[in-house]
A and B are shown apart, each in its own frame.
Chain A
Amino acid sequence: DVKVTQSSRYLVKRTGEKVFLECVQDMDHENMFWYRQDPGLGLRLIYFSYDVKMKEKGDIPEGYSVSREKKERFSLILESASTNQTSMYLCASSPGQGSTYEQYFGPGTRLTVT
């Protein structure tokens, strides 16, 4: 079974702090994604990566950055956390292009910024 793990289920941070959310997948997938999920807005893509050290902006990249130094790990960084970044963050992975596009999700990190 594919497993996608996220470093924390719940996280509380203060405004202005730098926040790291870690995601690890164990199926050698090329593609990794970060979404945020807010009530009434569904899933919105923040960033994705199709290879080590490669990254692409999604629909809402402002205030975020990412890092992919190893194939299995994709980190989301909030450079200076703000209250409007309070949300559920979901990491996902999928096999390389040309395959079935099915995504495998982690359990999510509920981040609260106070």
Chain B
Amino acid sequence: SQQGEEDPQALSIQEGENATMNCSYKTSINNLQWYRQNSGRGLVHLILIRSNEREKHSGRLRVTLDTSKKSSSLLITASRAADTASYFCATGRGGSYIPTFGRGTSLIVHP
């Protein structure tokens, strides 16, 4: 069963703009991760945020987590054509080491 749901399903922007993707989930979590998948390839881990954290940065990525709203957002600043990919959130629950993936947001960055 899928826990996280990304929004929007698809996003198209120009190079240099910021891209924001959101993830909502239903039950309480102990961490949330974001992954990127380039077309036809495996997923690559981007960032993990724990339930007691509110914001985390990694290079041009900024992730926020609002456990009261059961939602997270991924912001990519100054996007590049190479950021074109699908982005997935994955939630970790309780003592489980198995994240549950959402359906993903497809991001296209036009040069």
Binding site for B on A (CB under 8 A): 4, 31, 33, 35, 40-43, 45, 48, 50, 59, 88, 90, 92, 94, 96-108, 110
What distance in Å separates the Cβ of A68 from its nearest Cβ neighbour in chain B?
16
28 A-B contacts, Cβ less than 8 Å apart? A31-B97, A33-B98, A42-B88, A42-B103, A42-B104, A43-B88, A43-B101, A50-B97, A59-B1, A90-B43, A92-B42, A94-B97, A96-B97, A97-B95, A101-B33, A101-B92, A101-B97, A101-B98, A102-B48, A103-B43, A103-B45, A103-B90, A104-B45, A105-B43, A105-B44, A107-B42, A108-B41, A108-B42
What distance in Å separates the Cβ of A76 from its nearest Cβ neighbour in chain B?
15
Compute how far the CA of A51 lies from the CA of B91 in the bound complex, rounded to whole angstroms.
22
What distance in Å separates the Cβ of A100 from its nearest Cβ neighbour in chain B?
6
Contact A48 B42 (CB under 8 A): no
Q: Total contacts A to B, CB within 8 angstroms?
A: 59
Contact B99 A107 (CB under 8 A): no
What are the residues of chain A within 8 A of B111 when measuring CB–CB? none
Compute how far the CA of A107 lies from the CA of B21 in the bound complex, rounded to whole angstroms.
24
What distance in Å separates the Cβ of A75 from its nearest Cβ neighbour in chain B?
17
What are the residues of chain A within 8 A of B95 when measuring CB–CB? 97
- What are the 9 closest A-B residue pairs judged by CB atoms, nearest first? A105-B42, A42-B103, A43-B101, A105-B43, A102-B45, A107-B42, A101-B92, A97-B97, A101-B97
Contact A101 B48 (CB under 8 A): yes
- The A-contacting residues of B in range 27-44, CB under 8 angstroms, are 31, 33, 35, 40-44
Contact A103 B99 (CB under 8 A): yes
Which residue of chain A is the closest to B46 with respect to CB atoms?
Answer: A102
